[in-house]
Structure formats: C-alpha cells, structure tokens
Structure 1
Amino acid sequence: MATTGESPCFSLIHVANDAEFPSEQQLKDKFEKGDVKAKTEALKKLILMLNSGEKMNPSLMMYVIRFCLPTEDHMLKKLLLLFWEIVPKTSADGKLLHEMILVCDAYRKDLTHPNEFIRGSTLRFLCKLKEPELLEPLMPVIKACLEHTHSYVRRNAVLAIFTIYRSFDFLISDAPELIYEYLEKEQDASCKRNAFIMLTQVDQARALEYLSGCVDQVNNFNEILQLVIVELIYKVCHTNPNERTKFIRCIHNLVQSQSAAVRYDAAGTLVTLSTAPAAIKVAAQTYIDLIVKQSDNNVKLIVLDRLIELREHSSNERVLQELVMDILRVLSSSEYEVRKKILHLALDLVSSRNVGEMVMFLKKEINKTTNEAQEDVGRYRQLLVRTLHSATIKFPDVAEQIFPVLMEFLSDQNEVAASGVLLFVREAVNRLPHLRSVIIAQLLDVFSNIRNIVIFKDALWILGEYADTPENIAQVFRFIKKAIGELPILETEEAMLNGETEEPKKEELPKSEKQPKKLITADGTYATQSALSSAAPSTLRDEKPILLPPNLKKTKIKH
C-alpha cells in the first residue's frame, strides 16, 4: 500500500512508531472468517492505516460492508462510524462511490433502530458528512427523530438538522420553522438548548420572538439554556443598541438565577446594557455575593477583577462607595491575594461618610488575627496595618480610633508588623501635630510591654524626639530608669536626684573632693573617679590595689 499525505484528516489518532500493519489479505480473512473480536481488531488496524495516510483498495470496502455493517455489536458499530468518517467516499473523478449507496441504506436502518444509543450516535455521525448525495435520502428519517421518546435522540436530531442546514440549506429549507415549532413544545433542557442555539445562529428573529414570549419564565429554565439566552441578548444589544431596553427586564431576572455562571454572565451583560446607577449597583452586589460564596480562589480572583473594572469608570465610583462595607465582607476569604485586592479597592472607594465603619471593621479583623495560626496571617496583619495607615493619612479624623488598636502591635513578636506600626506612628506625630499628645500618651501606655530591642530603640527615639511636656518627659525617664535598674549612687545623691534635698554648697565640700582624683589601676591605666562614687576618702589614699566600680572610665597611659 502506497503512502500519501494528500487525503484530508478528520480525526487524530495516535499511532505508535513501531506499529505493524497487516496485509490486505489478512484483513479480508479476519473480516470474512473471524468472530466479532477479530473483526473489531481488524477494523481498528484498518482505521489506523487510513489515518496514517495509507491508501485502501476499494475491494476491501466491500468486505467491511458485507461482514461488519450488519453487526449488532455496539463497539463494532462505533468503530464503523469512525471508519466511514475517514474513508474516501468518492472516486478519483470526484463522483460518489457506488458502495456508499449500501452504506446509506444501512444507516437509514440505524436511524429507525429501536435502540436509542444507535439512533443518537448515527445522528452525531451524520453531522460530519460533507456529501449531500448521502444526506438527501436520509432527511425524512432525521426529521422523524425529532418525535422520538428519548431526549438523547431528539437532542442529536436537532444537532444534525442544524449542521446540515448550515452546510446544505437546500436539503431542509424549512429547518428554522421546524425547529421553532419543536422548541415551543419541547420540555427537555438539553434539547431546548440545542434548538435555541440553532435559532440564534440561523434565524435570530425567531429566537428573539421565542424569548419575548417566555421572559417571565427564564428563571425556571435550566442553567445551560439560561447561558445561551444571556449570550443572545449580549450579541443582539451589541449589534443593535436600540434593542437594549427590551431585554433589561430579562437580564434582571437572570441575575437572580440559582446558577453562579449565569449570574456572572448576566451581571456583565447588565453593565453593557445600562449605565444607570441601579444597574451598576445590582451588578456589583452580584459580583460581591459570588466572591463571598465561591470556594475556588481562582474564581474569586476572576470575579474580583470584574468588580475592579467597574471602579475604573468614574461614573460608577459613587455607586461603589456605598458598597464599601459589602465589599469588605470578602475578607472572610483565607486567600492572601484576594484580601490584598479587596483592601486596595476598599481604600480607593472609602469616603468620609463610611471611613468610620471601615475602621471599626478592620479593627475587628485585627483582633481576629491574634488567634489565627494560618500561614499568611502575619502578612495579612501587615496589610491591615498599612491599610489603616493610609486611611488615617487620608482621613485624619479617624486617627484617635485607630491608634489604640495599632499600639498593641508593638508588643507583638512579629518585628515586621511592629516596625510597620512604628513607621505609621512616626509619620502621624510629624504630620498630625494636633494629635501628637494623644499619640505620645498611648505610646507611653504600651512602652513597658515592648520586648523586641529594635522596636524598643525606635520607640525610644520617637519619645525622645516628640515628648515635649514635663509629665511625658518624666514618665520617659522613669521607664528608662526602670529598664536600667538601680544606679550605683549614694542615698543622699539619689534623694538629691529625686528632688528631696538640696545640693550642698561648693564651699562646704572638703578640698579633697573639689577636684576629681586620678588613680592608677592594676593594669596600668588612669581612672577618674566619679562624683557619684560611694568610695570613702580614706579608701582613695590606700596604697593597696583599688577595685573600681563599673562606672569608672579607663584610659590608656600615653607615652
């Protein structure tokens, strides 16, 4: 058998590189003398050969017609459908092979077969035929299949009529009228969907006529039919914008559908049909509800992107501002990317009318994160802090509500979250002078609970820079003293530092104490004694090695 690559290929079937094909005589013997299993294997080999580009002897076709076509085995019948799809049906001069008349007669019998599987699969095969000479004698039987009791047969009959009319309309010129009448009395959802799709493709006016008569019933339709209706309305309104008002009511009904897919498509179509605030609000609420209820994070992100697209139109911003609290409901999702996008969107939409509610909601979210042990809880808390930070800078009036919550983060073990709060505090005390005293007071309240040395250092810098009242300064010193511990000073000097006694006059001090004394330590360095030293004067004159307290400064002897 010669190999050629000129024949068209209708189906792709994997053929192994080391596959061995039988000879023509071997195939004939299996078709003629083999059982059903042998015939099935031989037909598979023949299909693979044809699909690989091998030419088939016309005499071999007669063996298939004589010994395989009359079979009742379902597997063999399925293989025959594939075989007749790819086998050449015309001669070299383009005329239909005479053997195909026998094939056509066999499939006429299959279209009247009592088994619905054989009827339906045969109708599906007819959708792939491109020879009108084969289809013409079968048209009456195909139409009769529209009345079959089983929906599988009726569904495929509609599909066959659709494809035949689209390719060879002269074979069934009354197809639109026939399908319209069929659609009005059909009850099965899948059959109605196929019929409605056909009308939308070949006779859009009839499809709209049918839709106009059942606008109030669309909520009761199956999901697959509702999706087709939404698609039709979208196409019609883009083609003819004057038709938009006719379908607003229908789309409003479909937005209330039980199917998430239908609601999503209907909301997108509603936005294209109308720019009225009521329509935008309904679409936005639909998107929000879908995000909250869907469990798949990819679906959440897709719907969320559509919601963000609504905000890009300035005319929709005021409508969406009223839905900020509804948008924040999406934070119930555990996905970090979803939460991030929602907080950015909410921050863009928040206004002075609802910023207080938003802050209270975010405070509750922060409190929830303290008990959560999820992987991204740390990043989520930082995100909440940054959002509150931006909201405070944007609306300073809410700062007093935010700072008590954020100050609690300073005692957090997460250094990144605490650092974010300190950056926020530093910017706030600098840009909001009227709140400086409140912020410093709240910082002092939590200062003693800070355990991280880096956070403690930064907080101490803020207090040293902006604590400007005597009470705050004294409190800062008390914290510092408590952190350092007891100082090595005399009781009288401690009392003097605390303001309980007056400092002794200079002339009353002994002459030996007026000048600091230089001492030589055991390692040969000079040391200067502090005025706060508790050593007695007699000890300073002792010739024995002196053990100096830790507060004495040592300096190397310079030669």
Structure 2
Amino acid sequence: MSQAVNSNDDYCSFTLPSDLSQGGLPSEADICKDLESSSAAVKRGALKAAIMAMLGGEALPRVLMQVIRFCINTEDHQLKKLMMLYWEVVPKYQPSDAGSKEKPKLLPEMILVCNALMNDLNHPNEYVRGSMLRFLCKVKDFEILGPLMASVKQCLEHRHSYVRKNAALAIFHCFRLFGTKLIPDGAELMERFILAETDICARRNAFLMLFNEAEGIAIEFISQNVDDIMKFGEGFALLVLELTRKVCRREPAQKSRFVRVLFQMLSSDSASVSYEACWTLVSLSSAPTAVRAAAATYSSLLSSQADNNVKLIILERLEELKKKHSKVLQEVLMDILKAIASPNPDICKKVIDISMPLVNSRNVEEVVTVLKRELLKSQDSDLEKSSAFRDMLVQALHSCSSRFPDVAEGVVTTLMDFIGGDGALNVVIFVRAIVEQYPELRDGVLQTLQNSVSDVTKSEVMCITMWILGEYCVEAESIQSAFDDVMSELGEPPFIVVEENKDEKKEEKEPTTTTKNVVLADGTYATQTVYSEPTKKDMEEKMSGLRKLVVEGDIFLCSILASTLTKFCLRMNKKKSMVVKSLLTLCGFAQVASLKGSSQKSAAVDSHERISLCCRMLLDDKTSDMLKETWTEKGKVTFSQLLGVMKEKKERESKSEEEGVVSQADDLIHIRQLKSGTAGGGDIDLDDGSDLLRATGAQGGGSGLDGLKHTYQLTGFSDSVYSEASLVVNDYDIKLELLLINRTPDALSINVELSTIGDLKIVERPQMRVVGPLDQVTLSASIKVSSTETGRIFGTIVYEKASGEKGYINLNDLHLDIMDYIKPATCSDEVFRSFWAEFEWENKVAVSTTITDIHQFLDHIVEKTNMKCLTPVQRDDGNKSLFLAANLYARSVFGEDALVNVSVEQKGDGQLTGYIRIRSKTQGIALSLGDRITKVQRKVEEVVKEESGEGGGGGEGEGAGSGQ
C-alpha cells in the first residue's frame, strides 16, 4: 500500500504494481524524455515511474508540464487511467513560505488540467465520462471542482446509465465536501433526478445522497413510493432499512411511517434484504406480530439458504429471539427443525440447542417424530457426522422423554434398535434412566433389553445392561427369564482356553464337509465336495457377544455378571438349580480374574474379592441374610438419588445462564432520548456498545489496567529509538500498536520490519514514518491468527538520519498468550471420555505448590487456566477428604478442545502431591497449557516466599510434552 501526502495533509492511498527493473526509478530528466515519445507503452512506463517517485516523496515539478503537453489529449484508455492516478498524487498548490498563514495558491498549470478534465466529462465515449466522474469522487479541491460542476450536472441526463450513476456519486461527493457553497440546488437536483431515473444503480446512488444530506426529502420519497420500494433493487432497499433505523432510534414516533415498508421487505426475493428487515423490525418493536413475522422469515431463510455460514448467522439471531420471545418461536419450531437435515454437525448442534427449550406438550410428538426420523437416517455409516450426530439426537430424545412421559415409550422402542451399534453407550444410559423414572414402562423395556443382549458388543454397554437386569427384574417370571437368557449367552464354564504345548500331539479335529454344484469347462454339471477344518477365527465368530467379552478377559464385566446372578438368586430365595449354575459360573469368573489379570492387578484383585463375596452369599445363609437388603434394594435408591442430583445440577446451570449478570449495578445507563442527535448518538443502535467492544477486543469492560497487561517493552531506554507494543486480541485478529519515541536531536526516517513464527500471518505492515527530534509516533500492524499453536512476533527497527547514517535496533520477541484464545466450555462426561481416548498429545505436569488446601489449589488452577470444572466437588462435607480428582474443559476460539485432569493427594505434612495431565488434539495447546500451569505454580511459590521473608526464586517445575 503506497501513500502520498498533499499540502492539506490529506492521504490518498492505492496500490500500483511495478514492472520496472531492479535498477531503481529513472531520473526526472529520463521521465520527461520518455513522455515525449510517440509510443503509448513508453509513456505509460514513464508516467508510472513518475507516480511511484511521487509516492516516495519526490516532487518532480518538471514532469507536470510534460504530462500536460504530451499525454493530456491521448486516446489510450490505460494511459488515461494512469493520468487520473497522477492527478491524484501530483502537488496542486504552490509551496508556501515557512510560518506563512496565507492559504496556498493553486498552480497555474492546474487551469490546463481542469480544461482537460472538462473535455473528458464531455467526451462522447461513456466509459471515459464515467471514469472521470469516478475520479472526481477523490478530488477535494474547491478550485478544481468548481469549474467542472456544470459538466457534471449535464452528465445526469446522459443516455447511458453508467454515466448517470457515476454523476450522482460525484455530486454527492462534492455536496458532502462543500455543501451549498458549491452546489446550491444539490438536494432539489437529486430529488428531480431520482423521480425521473429508471436505472437501479443510479437511483440508489441518488438516494444515498438524500439519505446523508437531505433526510427529509428521502423520508418523503419513501412515503410516496411505499408500494414500489421493492422494485428499486436490493441496494436501494438496504439504504431504506438503514434510514429506518437511524430515524426511528432518534425519533421513536416515526416508527409508524416505516412499519409497512418493513413488512413488505420481509418477503423480498433478496435474502440480504429479508435478513436486514427482520432484525430491524425486531430492534424497533417487540410486539408479538412483529416478532412472529421476523421469526417466520428467519426460519424461511434457514431452509432456503445453502451456505452453512449464513445458516449459523441466522441461528444466532433465532437464539437471541428465544431469550425474550420463546413463546412466539414455538410457533415456528418445526420450520427451524428442518435445518437438522444439514450435513454440517455444527448446524445440527445449534438447531438442537435452540429447539429443545421450545418443546412443549403441544408440539412434543411432532418434534420426537422428526428426531426419530433423523436418528434412523444416521445409521448410514458413510455420513461424516453420523456418530456425533447420533449422540446429540439420543440426548435430545432423552430430554423430551424426561419432560413429557407420554412420549417415553415410543422413544425407548426406537432407541433400543441402536443398542448394538455406535452410540450404544448413550442409548443404554438413557434406558437406565427411563427404567428408574417410569415404573409403568419397566416390564416392556426389560423384555426388550433381554432380547437385545445378543446384539451388544461393547463392554461398557454390557455392564450397564447387566446392572439394569439385576436391579429391576424383581418378579419371579422376569427373573427366571432374564437368568435363562444370561446363562444362554454365557454358555458353560470354563471361560479360559488352555493352549496346548507344541511337543504334545494335537488332537485331530473333524473336518467339515461342504457340497455344492459346479459347471465344468464342457458345460456339464458336477458335484464338488470341499473339506475344511474349523479355525480359531471361525470359533470366535460363533461365540455370543457376552461370552466373547468374558473369554477375552474382561474382569470388570465378570464382577458385574457375578453381582447380577447373585441378585437373581437372592430374589428367588436361593432356588437350588439357579444357585448351582450360578456358583459354577462364578468359579469360571474367578479363574478368569486370576489368570487374565496379570496386566490389571488392582482391578483383578478387586474383582476377585467381589466374586468371592458373591459365592459366600450364595453358600452362607447368615451372610446372605445380612447383606440381602443392601444387595437388592440399596442400588436403586442410590441411583435414584444420583438422578435427582443430576437434575438439580442441570436446573441450576440453566437457571444461572438465564439469570446471568447482564450488567453491573454501577454501569452507566444509556438513555437514548437524552442523547444529542447531532453528536452522532442517534445513529448508534442499542447493541452497538457491545459490538464496538467486541470489535476493539475490549470484551471485558476494557479498563486502562487491562490494556497495560498486554503492553510490552521492545527496546531499551538507552537506544536511539524507544519502542513499546500494545496487543489487542480479537479472536482471529491481532492489532499491534507500536509506540516509537525518537530520543535523538535529529529527525529520523523509521521503518519497523516485523516477522512471525508459527501460525501467524502479517496482513498489514507498519508504514515508514519520519519522526522529528524528541518526537513520538504510533504505528499499527494487523496480524491474522489461524490456530493456538505457539506463536512469536519479532523484528527490527531500521532508522536513517538526514546525513545518511543508518542504524538498526533488534526488538524483543513477543510471545502470544494462549489464555487470550482459551474460553471455558462445558461438555458431557461421555464426550470428555471420548475426547480423552481420541486425543494424541499429552503433557504431564507434576504438582509443585505451597498451597495446602486441595479445593483452593483446584480453584487456583481453574482461574489461571481459564477452564471450567466439570466434576462436582463437595466442599462443605463434614469429613475433609485428602484426595481430589477433577476434570477441566475449555475450547479455543478456533474450535480446538483442551482437556485437563487434576489428581491431587494431601500428605501427612500438609503438602500436595500428584499430577496434572493435559490432553489436546494439537501439540501447541498441550505444551502451552503445561507451561502456563508450571508458571502459575512457580508464581505461587514466589509470592509465599516473599510474604514469609525468604529470598530466592522458585524452583523448576516439572513439565514434559510427549506426542504419541
């Protein structure tokens, strides 16, 4: 980006590609000589060199007359374009004496330039006329524009619409700069023009001037042409909406004049007009009719637009409407749910989040029907979103059935078909809750669950299934049926396959015979017999899912099965045949626990003890009488309490979200009616305050102290140029403001060269500036961020004195703080566990802190890492625990997940020991969070030492990043 400064300190900026050789720009004499050439190509090269030299600060006074003599009457369009750029950057005024207060005088040569501009304005070619009119929109000199206004007005009546629309823009530009001084009849001229104009773009440009400079005429035009507004084009309609917001916020009594127009624009063929009309209508009126019309339009746009980003924006608007007008949105709930068919999982999640709170007794059946239909579609494993989407649908159905018992039975029947596939864990957890909450559905669900045992292939799903059968099969008939089904799936013990020694003679297994008809080469038929021996793979495929899991050594499942069989026997009063079969099976489980548990010693010992206790209960009447009630009844009671706690937690979280602090008690109250309309306050929307804060990165209220936290010293105090940087982080963008102070008695030409390491890209570099003696200047740079990987900004200050002496100063590196991108988030325990198993990068940090309270340490980690604790922690119980294990979760603004597990133990001397494990999908988050935790632990140690009077810094913390 090149810049030039004229005598009025006005900047004109444009890009100009250079095809010159690396030898540098030609001299002024060479440029003048080339301009005399008869070749248009040579003239273009010379003129381009002159422009670039002027942008670099050269005056080139001789070139102006050469351009007027040899280029001003050219018919070459490219050369004419370059001449417009030249007229923009060329000095137009005579240099004034230092200290003189007289206004600079226009150069005499500019009279010839004005004559050439007027010739182009009257040119028979409409392209030349239109280009010159566009060029006049950049001119800010009254002496140049004054003689041209008659020709500009004539262009308003040109036959070609390209000329007319650019003429309207030129008049708007001139009227905005000089008002009635230059164009006394500007507003009336545009009013007559817009009434007679038929071109959409020209009419829009004319209305743009009335909108900004003659608001009363613009409002009157809208009132007289209400029925024809939609015929004037998309750009015109957007201007009408902007005018509506501006006027109605300044004068609320004017709303009635625009309501009819707004309702017409809701049905516009243009999606942008409909969208803008929706939120304009809602921002101006909270009447149910207006909100209902806006919601219907939003839902229509949601179904008609194919762009996923557009759908997400519309869903955000619907979410804002839901906060204040949830009853109105219930009427269009089914239209919103149509977007759930989108292949994008983010859109599906957003739709479900918006829709679930809107479900009521009147629409719950229709909502459940849609969710079940989508759940059946998700069985297609080719879909990229199938697994995660299925989990969301299961949770949504669970929410509907929990709130509305009438649909629970149909939901359970549908979900039971998925108990053997992906997402089965969520399904069986849902079934477990339904069985406890709705006793009237219990018999049918248990029977369906028994029939589905053979379809279960995952261990965790089988464990929950066996627990449900053991807890809720209480009738003799259901117990016997469940017992027979479980034993049939398990088969006869033992469950250990003993491998034969190589030296021993293996018994020959009988081969299997397969007979089939084949066609020979001569076309005749023959019978072919194939002999094959059974393989280990064939034998495993014939096993049921339950027996296969036990044979593979699932020790925990064995203990669950032992507990289930014991409950069956206790409820049947130790029926002899049932007890005998159970004991034989338990012995087989004990053998699995003793032989297969070498790699899981603690789990094997625990499971072995549980199986032994089950055997004692089946053999010893005294033990069984003592533990029967606890074994058969307390499980349901505890699970019921757990469901109650989870329900209270969910209600508490939803209530806290709804009743969150919107503003502080001492915040300023903005009263729109008391704002001055001329001060610009009338043009600001009610939500513009928060929008401006987000745009500038000051999301937290933005005190001066917060800004100082992101200010860094780049050079030393003894350097010729002192510099410090201020970082303003706004999600994907970083604005870097550089303060440069010239500490020398000479004027310096300063250029700051910046570079980055990591996923950072410099979008806009600081411009070279001349800083006076002991003066200062502020430069800015824009940097784009693409991920939370470790990033660094470094560079050099290059300065040059008037004598030609150059100097270089290396800047201190700027490290980006990952906490600017990490935001607290929430996820379910199942999602956390799946992420924990999926993510590859782990960083393990040892706990090294002077904090002696476990809960205080957890609060410290949560605060400093900007994460959310997912594990409910009991703080006010009577027995103080010496152990703590908690899961923390956060998401970056780029959608990256960060998982932290804190495991802490308090020793006898009060010191805390343990580890903090960090997992993420990328290495950058794992390492950066580990460094952050190590840093805050060291800081705590230093603070404690300072308070206690001890000297020295903190020791090195442990932290290692490992990639699997």
TM over 0.5: yes
Counterpart residue type for residue 224 of structure 1: G
Task: Tell me how far apart the structure 2 counterparts of residues 67 and 306 of structure 1 sit (CA, whole Å).
Answer: 59
2:423 is aligned with 1:421: no
CA contact (8 A) 1:15 1:48 kept: no
Cross-structure match for 1:130: 140
2:406 is aligned with 1:397: yes
Counterpart residue type for residue 452 of structure 1: K
User: 1:193: how far off?
Assistant: 0.4
Counterpart residue type for residue 317 of structure 2: R
Task: Tell me how far apart the structure 1 counterparts of residues 164 and 382 of structure 2 sit (CA, whole Å).
Answer: 56
Q: Secondary structure at the match of 1:411?
A: coil
CA contact (8 A) 2:54 2:60 kept: yes
2:170 is aligned with 1:160: yes
Change (3 A) 1:15 1:153: closer
CA deviation map 1:290-321 (0-9, x unaligned): 111111111110111011110111xx111111
2:220 is aligned with 1:229: no
CA deviation map 1:54-73 (0-9, x unaligned): 1212x321111000111111
Task: Tell me how far apart the structure 2 counterparts of residues 212 and 482 of structure 1 sit (CA, whole Å).
Answer: 82
Cross-structure match for 2:451: 445
2:68 is aligned with 1:40: no
User: 1:206: how far off?
Assistant: 0.3
Task: Tell me how far apart the structure 2 counterparts of residues 322 and 62 of structure 1 sit (CA, whole Å).
Answer: 73
Cross-structure match for 1:72: 75
Q: Match for 2:33 among 12, 15, 29?
A: 29
CA contact (8 A) 1:267 1:283 kept: yes
Q: Match for 1:322 among 318, 328, 331?
A: 331
Cross-structure match for 1:88: 91
Cross-structure match for 1:409: 418
Gaps spanning 5+ residues in structure 1: where? 489-496, 505-559
2:303 is aligned with 1:299: no
Aligned length: 484
Q: State which structure, 1 or 2, has the greater radius of gyration over its C-alpha atoms.
A: 1
Q: Secondary structure at the match of 2:184?
A: coil
Matches within 5 A, 1:92-131: 92-93=95-96, 94-131=104-141
CA deviation map 1:7-39 (0-9, x unaligned): 654123367795611112211211123421111
Change (3 A) 1:50 1:19: farther
Counterpart residue type for residue 23 of structure 1: S
User: 1:42: how far off?
Assistant: 0.4
Cross-structure match for 1:220: 231
Task: Tell me how far apart the structure 1 counterparts of residues 250 and 478 of structure 2 sit (CA, whole Å).
Answer: 72
Gaps spanning 5+ residues in structure 2: where? 97-103, 495-568, 570-574, 578-964
2:443 is aligned with 1:433: no
CA contact (8 A) 2:5 2:12 kept: no
Counterpart residue type for residue 12 of structure 2: F
CA contact (8 A) 2:341 2:374 kept: no
Cross-structure match for 1:243: 254
Cross-structure match for 1:464: 470
| Further displaced range: 343-352 or 431-440 | 431-440
User: 1:388: how far off?
Assistant: 0.7
Cross-structure match for 1:531: none
Change (3 A) 1:370 1:237: same
CA contact (8 A) 1:151 1:191 kept: yes
CA contact (8 A) 1:324 1:346 kept: yes
CA contact (8 A) 2:311 2:347 kept: yes
Change (3 A) 1:379 1:78: same
Q: Match for 1:62 among 65, 72, 78?
A: 65
Task: Tell me how far apart the structure 1 counterparts of residues 200 and 236 of structure 2 sit (CA, whole Å).
Answer: 7
Task: Tell me how far apart the structure 2 counterparts of residues 186 and 424 of structure 1 sit (CA, whole Å).
Answer: 66
Counterpart residue type for residue 123 of structure 1: L
Task: Tell me how far apart the structure 1 counterparts of residues 337 and 452 of structure 2 sit (CA, whole Å).
Answer: 30
Change (3 A) 1:142 1:19: farther
Cross-structure match for 2:154: 144
2:456 is aligned with 1:454: no
CA contact (8 A) 1:248 1:273 kept: no
Task: Tell me how far apart the structure 2 counterparts of residues 108 and 326 of structure 1 sit (CA, whole Å).
Answer: 59
Change (3 A) 1:368 1:360: same
Q: Match for 2:197 among 186, 190, 199?
A: 186
2:295 is aligned with 1:289: no
CA contact (8 A) 1:13 1:51 kept: no
Cross-structure match for 2:357: 348
Task: Tell me how far apart the structure 1 counterparts of residues 89 and 136 of structure 2 sit (CA, whole Å).
Answer: 13
CA deviation map 1:39-92 (0-9, x unaligned): 1110000000001111212x3211110001111111111100000001000001
CA RMSD for the aligned pairs?
A: 2.2
Task: Tell me how far apart the structure 2 counterparts of residues 86 and 114 of structure 1 sit (CA, whole Å).
Answer: 27
Of all paired residues, the percent bearing the same amino acid is 42
CA contact (8 A) 2:299 2:332 kept: no
Cross-structure match for 2:184: 173
Task: Tell me how far apart the structure 2 counterparts of residues 110 and 484 of structure 1 sit (CA, whole Å).
Answer: 95
Q: Match for 1:485 among 491, 499, 502?
A: 491
Q: Secondary structure at the match of 1:21?
A: coil
Q: Match for 2:343 among 308, 311, 334?
A: 334
Q: Secondary structure at the match of 2:360?
A: coil
Change (3 A) 1:372 1:233: farther
User: 1:134: how far off?
Assistant: 1.2
Cross-structure match for 1:52: 56
Task: Tell me how far apart the structure 2 counterparts of residues 6 and 276 of structure 1 sit (CA, whole Å).
Answer: 54
User: 1:486: how far off?
Assistant: 5.2
CA contact (8 A) 2:59 2:91 kept: no
Change (3 A) 1:503 1:271: closer
Q: Secondary structure at the match of 2:124?
A: coil
Counterpart residue type for residue 80 of structure 2: K
CA contact (8 A) 2:6 2:89 kept: no
CA contact (8 A) 2:380 2:386 kept: no
CA contact (8 A) 1:448 1:479 kept: no
User: 1:372: how far off?
Assistant: 5.4
2:12 is aligned with 1:10: yes
User: 1:436: how far off?
Assistant: 2.5
More strand per residue: 2
Change (3 A) 1:52 1:19: farther
Counterpart residue type for residue 392 of structure 1: S
User: 1:503: how far off?
Assistant: 9.3
CA contact (8 A) 1:12 1:51 kept: no
Counterpart residue type for residue 28 of structure 2: E
| Further displaced range: 443-452 or 20-29 | 443-452
Task: Tell me how far apart the structure 1 counterparts of residues 167 and 464 of structure 2 sit (CA, whole Å).
Answer: 78
User: 1:288: how far off?
Assistant: 1.2
User: 1:247: how far off?
Assistant: 1.1
Counterpart residue type for residue 265 of structure 1: E
Task: Tell me how far apart the structure 2 counterparts of residues 364 and 503 of structure 1 sit (CA, whole Å).
Answer: 48
Task: Tell me how far apart the structure 2 counterparts of residues 206 and 213 of structure 1 sit (CA, whole Å).
Answer: 11
CA contact (8 A) 2:288 2:328 kept: yes
